[in-house]
Amino acid sequence: MTDLALIQTVLGLASTAVELTGQASKTVTSIKSIFKEESGGRNSEAQALLNRLLEDLTSANLMNAKLSTTLKALVSELDNS
């Protein structure tokens, strides 16, 4: 892979990681609002949001792992040029 292609891959992965983290942050805000309202019967909504948060954070972690691996490859390629 060329330096330019690898840099574009890194930027794409970084952009996706930021989007996933932003989505997780919005989910946390929604969860907080449920618990502030102290209204009964919201357990199913809270559970659904907690499950979404789990998915968001798992996706973000996977994306960050891919990003880290790709960044290491880029650094290695740049060192060898």
pLDDT in tens, 7-40: 899 999 999 999 999 999 999 999 888 887 766 6
What is the sign of the dihedral through the CA atoms of 47, 49, 55 and 60?
A: negative
Structure tokens at 29: 């805000």
pTM to 2 decimal places: 0.76
- Dist CA 2 CA 48 (whole Å): 43
What is the average pLDDT across 65-71? 93
- Dist CA 59 CA 23 (whole Å): 10
- Dist CA 75 CA 79 (whole Å): 6
